[in-house]
Amino acid sequence: IEALLVDGPLAGRHAIVTSGPTHEPIDPVRYIANRSSGQQGNAIATALAGLGARVTFITGPAITPPPLGVTVVKVETAQEMLNAVTSALPADIGVFAAAVADWRMSEAATGKIKKAKGEGPPSLTLTENPDILATVSQMSEGRPELVVGFAAETDNIVENATRKRERKGCDWIVANDVSEGTGIMGGSENAVTVIDANGAESWPRATKDDVARRLAQRIAEALT
Ligand code: CTP
Ligand code: CA
């Protein structure tokens, strides 16, 4: 019933949005994670739903509660996030805003690691996590029509993000400068450069909600 009432340029479209950090357990009490408030992902999910899309919102443990009006799938780890994304397919749109931990423990300890006297800190042996964005971008069957990734960079933003787009095979990369002092990490504003096959387009600094609405609008235009 709800779907029938929703109108807009993305009506009848399914969008998958990943958001938040992932947590990779070290032992039962500790984990590896990225910084991510989840605000930009929330705003994107809300904006896509506002244009009529059915949104599956796959989120790691973010501080900001997930938005209303979307299907929420909560996960902890990168592997769980990848499984959730795969299960949510097919989709027309994939927006990968999650700050996925690049590494996990090769083997998480089943019991709490204790400080052993005289032995110093433990060495953690890490393994690379699956790249969810690259996996979906490079699917030979069932790839969403439009795949959008993010690139949080501190240096050479456009060059790094352009290379990242090519390496991963997504259609667009939304790059931003998360250097300390920009106030973007954890703040309510964002200044992004959207990179596609034709080049880079810098958008003025705006609220994360406004950036999300502009991105959703651009997505709707690209699909129709
Ligand atoms: N991403 C992902 N799965 C991963 C790592 C990243 O889906 N295991 C996605 C992010 O959600 C984002 C994009 O890939 O949309 C870029 O993430 P980023 O961390 O900037 O890229 P990396 O390839 O991990 O490169 P870096 O070494 O700069 O961290
Ligand atoms: Ca990374």
> Mean per-residue pLDDT for 92-97?
98
Expressed in angstroms and rounded, the spacing between residue 164 Cα and the centre of ligand 1 is: 9
Instruction: List the binding residues for CTP.
Output: 102, 112, 130-133, 150, 164, 168
Report pLDDT for 182: 82
For residue range 111-144, what is the model confidence (pLDDT) as tens digits?
999 998 888 899 999 999 999 999 999 999 999 9
**Does the CB atom of residue 146 touch ligand 1 within 6 A?**
no
> Mean per-residue pLDDT for 199-217?
96
Question: Residues of the chain with pLDDT > 90: what percent?
Answer: 86
Of the listed ranges 52-56, 124-128, 155-159, the least confidently predicted one is 155-159
Of the listed ranges 19-23, 33-37, 82-86, the least confidently predicted one is 33-37
Mention every residue, 6+ apart, whose C-beta is less than 8 A from residue 138: 168, 169
**Does the CB atom of residue 84 touch ligand 1 within 6 A?**
no
Report pLDDT for 125: 97
**Does the CB atom of residue 100 touch ligand 1 within 6 A?**
yes
> Mean per-residue pLDDT for 190-214?
95
- Among 32, 44, 81, 96, the mutation site with the greatest number of ligand 1 atoms within 8 A of its Cβ is 96
Report pLDDT for 4: 58
Task: Give Rg (Cα) of the chain.
Answer: 18
Residue 98, pLDDT > 70, answer yes
Query: What tokens appear for 159 in the block?
Result: 């060059």
Report pLDDT for 116: 82
> Mean per-residue pLDDT for 168-179?
94
Q: How confident is the model at residue 186 (pLDDT cuts 50, 70, 90)?
A: confident
Residue 66, pLDDT > 80, answer yes
Report the predicted TM-score, pTM, of the whole model to 2 decimal places: 0.95
Question: Residues of the chain with pLDDT > 70: what percent?
Answer: 97
Expressed in angstroms and rounded, the spacing between residue 50 Cα and the centre of ligand 1 is: 27
CB atoms under 10 Å from CB of 156, counted, come to 10
Q: How far is CA 30 from the centre of its chain?
A: 23
> Mean per-residue pLDDT for 17-33?
98
**Does the CB atom of residue 149 touch ligand 1 within 6 A?**
yes
> Which residue lies with its CA nearest to atom 8 of ligand 1?
131
> Mean per-residue pLDDT for 20-49?
96
Shortest-distance ligand to the CA of residue 33 = 2
Residue 6, pLDDT > 80, answer no
Catalytic site residue from 34, 42, 160, 176:
34
Report pLDDT for 2: 54
**Does the CB atom of residue 152 touch ligand 1 within 6 A?**
yes
Distance CA 130, CA 145 (A): 21
Residue 5, pLDDT > 80, answer no
Query: Are the C-beta atoms of residues 98 and 57 closer than 8 Å to each other?
Result: no
Active site residue 34: yes
Residue 41, pLDDT > 70, answer yes
